[in-house]
Amino acid sequence: MTRTDSLWAALVSVIWGVNFVAIDASLGDFPPFLLAALRFTLVAFPGVLFIKRPQASWWLIIGVGLTVNAGQFAFLFSAMHAGMPAGLSSVVIQCQAMFTVLFAVLMLREVPGRTRLISLGVAAVGMGVIAFGRGQGASLWPFLLVVGAGASWGFGNMLTRKAGIPGGVGLVVWSALAAPLPLLVLSLTVEGPGRDLDALTSASWSGVGGLAFTVVLSSWLGYGLWFALLGRRSASAVAPYGLLVPIVGIFAAWAVLGERPGWIEAIGAAIVLTGIGLASLPRLPSTTAIPTPTPSIDTTLPAPSKV
């Protein structure tokens, strides 16, 4: 990685980390399902008019849109609306790595390597510590909703892997088409048309600004830069910068929102980050060629969440 590319990768991670604070600001004005519907409507349009559709079947693009977009953010926004701290959410959502491996094992028959298993085991212990900490002083339900968001994202990762869909802005934009309608139906059914109309007509500058941040900076600029980097650098060189996302998320939430997780949750977050860091390490070359009868999952991390 050149110094310029490193700076771009760090900038993207900072944007994605701060985005959790922007989401928190938007949730002050918009109910979660409506906010998610607005986000993906603006991500898709007018982008689909100018960006070529990925070379993949419609059902796979829709599947990615329903899992990575609609499912993930319906869970995540609901969790944060229910009281899950923004900084802690940026850590817990990284459980997607564990679900990606689980679904790959169950549906693709891929066997993870030993390092991958150990690293995800460490992250799982950290998740358990966070769950314990949440159970001591607050409702566990928002935490479980973020885990659901990670599971939905992990299933979407498995779909893209199975189909061989190339990641890129095209997939981001076209898969976003599948999200607004089901999210809007959920919003009208659960949140109610009256609440939605009131949110749309009385939104503050902070709520609209937070939504604009998620669309323009997080989705368009963030993923545009990230995929450009992946186009000219190896995934193993780019992916470790994703570790900055939860770190920036925690510090941004502390600086802007005054969030201070309990000491048990802080320990759990540190353990999760350690596990993610181990998973991002490249494999060491073996001195002896040993044939392996089963494929092994790549040890580089999936791209960070489209927060």
Q: Given this model, what pLDDT does residue 236 score? A: 61
Residue 148 predicted with pLDDT over 90: yes
pTM score = 0.87
299 part of a folded domain: no
38 part of a folded domain: yes
Q: Is the pLDDT of residue 223 over 90?
A: no
Report the share of the chain in percent with pLDDT over 70: 88
Could you tell me the pLDDT band of residue 232, with boundaries at 50, 70 and 90? confident
75 located within any domain:
yes
Give the C-alpha distances (Å, rounded to integers) separating 259 from 51, 179, 207, 251.
Answer: 39, 30, 19, 9
Please compute the mean of the pLDDT values over residues 120-137 and round it to a whole number.
87
Lowest mean pLDDT across 144-148, 175-179, 278-282: 278-282
- Interatomic CA distance for residues 248 and 206, integer angstroms: 20
Count of C-beta atoms within a 10 Å radius of residue 297: 17
Q: Which tens digit of pLDDT belongs to each residue from 235-251?
A: 667 767 877 899 899 99
CA dist 45 to 54, 88, 111, 228, Å? 16, 31, 39, 21
- If you average pLDDT over every residue of the chain, what do you get? 86
pLDDT at 158: 87
Is a pLDDT exceeding 60 seen at residue 274?
Answer: yes
Q: Is residue 256 part of a domain?
A: yes
pLDDT of residue 297: 40
CA 33, distance to chain mean position in Å, is 17
Asked if residue 292 has pLDDT above 60, the reply is: no
Q: What is the band of 293 on the pLDDT scale with cuts at 50, 70, 90? A: very low
Residue 261 domain flag: yes
305 pLDDT higher than 60: no
Overall number of domains in the chain:
1
What pLDDT does 303 receive? 52
Phi, psi for residue 111 in degrees, rounded to 5:
-105, 115
Q: Label residue 289 by pLDDT band (50, 70, 90).
A: very low
Q: Is residue 294 part of a domain?
A: no
Considering 15-29, 148-162, 218-232, 266-280, the range whose residues carry the highest mean pLDDT is: 15-29
Does residue 35 lie in a domain region? yes
Q: Averaged over 128-145, what is the pLDDT?
A: 87
pLDDT of residue 295: 42
> In the prediction, which pLDDT does 280 show?
66
Q: Of the candidates 99, 152, 158, 154, which has an alpha carbon nearest to the alpha carbon of residue 124?
A: 99
What pLDDT score was predicted for residue 70?
96
Question: Residues 53-86: pLDDT tens digits?
Answer: 988 889 999 999 999 999 999 999 999 999 999 9
Answer whether residue 267 shows pLDDT above 70: yes
Instruction: Write out the residue range of the structural domain in which residue 162 sits.
Output: 3-280
| Least confident range of 164-178, 215-229, 271-285 | 271-285
HEC string of the chain equals: CCHHHHHHHHHHHHHHHHHHHHHHHHHCCCCHHHHHHHHHHHHHCCHHHCCCCCCCCHHHHHHHHHHHHHHHHHHHHHHHHCCCCHHHHHHHHHHHHHHHHHHHHHHHCCECCHHHHHHHHHHHHHHHHHHHHHHHHCCCHHHHHHHHHHHHHHHHHHHHHHHCCCCCHHHHHHHHCCCHHHHHHHHHHHHCHHHHHHHHHHCCHHHHHHHHHHHHHHHHHHHHHHHHHHHHCCHHHHHHHHHHHHHHHHHHHHHHHCCCCCHHHHHHHHHHHHHHHHHHCCCCCCCCCCCCCCCECCCCCCCCCCC
Maximum separation of any 2 CA atoms in the chain, in Å: 67
Q: Can you give the pLDDT at residue 110? A: 82
What's the pLDDT score for residue 205?
96
Query: What mean pLDDT comes out for the span 303-307?
Result: 55
Supply the pLDDT for residue 2: 87
Dihedral sign from CA coordinates of 293, 157, 96, 148: negative
In a domain, 227, yes or no: yes
Other beta carbons within 10 angstroms of residue 231's beta carbon come to: 11
